[in-house]
Structure formats: C-alpha cells, structure tokens
Amino acid sequence: MPPKAIIPPGSGDAVRQLALSPGVLSGGHLFLTGMTGSAPTGEMPVDPEAQFSNAFDKIGAVLAEAGLGFDAVVEMTTYHVGLRDHFDTFAAVRRHYVQDPFPAWTAVEVAGLRRDGALVEIRVIASAETLL
C-alpha cells in the first residue's frame, strides 16, 4: 500500500504553504510532522501551558483524522527551547493526553525552533495496525 497523507480539516493552507503532510500513513504506522503550539489563528501564545495544549490538540486532530487516538502513539520526541524552565508544566500537560501504557519518549533541548516564540515542537509516531 502506498503512503497516504493525513490532512485534518483546517490545515490545508499550511500544507500548501509548507509543502508537507501533517501525517503520513505508511507501513502500519502514522508518522506525524512536528507540531508547535500556535493557536488556530496562527498566533503563538506567550503562556507555555497554552502552547503545550495547542500542540497536543493539533496532534490529536491528525490522529483523529486517521481514525486513531492518543492510545495509538508509540513514540514521542519533544524539542524544547528552555527545557528546564518549563519541563514540569510540559509533563503535566502531556499527562492529560497520554496514558498508560505510555509511549517511548525522548526530550531534547534545542537552541531554537522554526516558529518564533515556540517553546516546544512535538513529533509522534502512532501504530496504525488497527486500520489495516
């Protein structure tokens, strides 16, 4: 089966502008593009908790478009600007979205992200075996 782009409603402009797919279904997995915490309006909140929730909500929209939930996430990589400044807040927000059995997770501190003001970019891989 060839790879299939997963594009949730409302993300068409970003898909065209950035020439990317929010998710790609391939080989029994859904690979998601890294998500930052911008609001639906495109604005980047100053509040870290709002950014983290927005990023997870965008991930949830891609998962839902593929017919999956957060329970399908098997791996998560998070890239943080100022990791130690907001890690506890990020971990608390994350717990609202992922549950036991928790996905494998790597958190990396970086000097910067593509979006000005972004504190985190979250990339996940989900098992899509139930869709096969």
Whole-number pLDDT of residue 10: 86
Domain residue spans of the chain: 4-131
Beta bridge partner(s), residue 120: 80
* Whole-number Å distance between alpha carbons of 76 and 67: 19
pLDDT at position 39? 93
Report in angstroms the alpha-carbon separations of 101 from 77, 81, 91: 16, 27, 16
Which CATH superfamily does the domain covering 4-131 fall into?
RutC-like (3.30.1330.40)
DSSP state of 47: S
Q: Alpha-carbon Rg of the chain, whole angstroms?
A: 14
pTM, entire model = 0.95
| Amino acid found at 85 | D
Q: How far apart are CA 103 and CA 24, in angstroms?
A: 19
Q: Which residues of the chain carry a pLDDT beneath 70?
A: 132
Q: What is the predicted pLDDT for the residue at 40? A: 86
Q: What is the pLDDT of residues 104-125, one digit of tens each?
A: 999 999 999 999 999 999 999 9
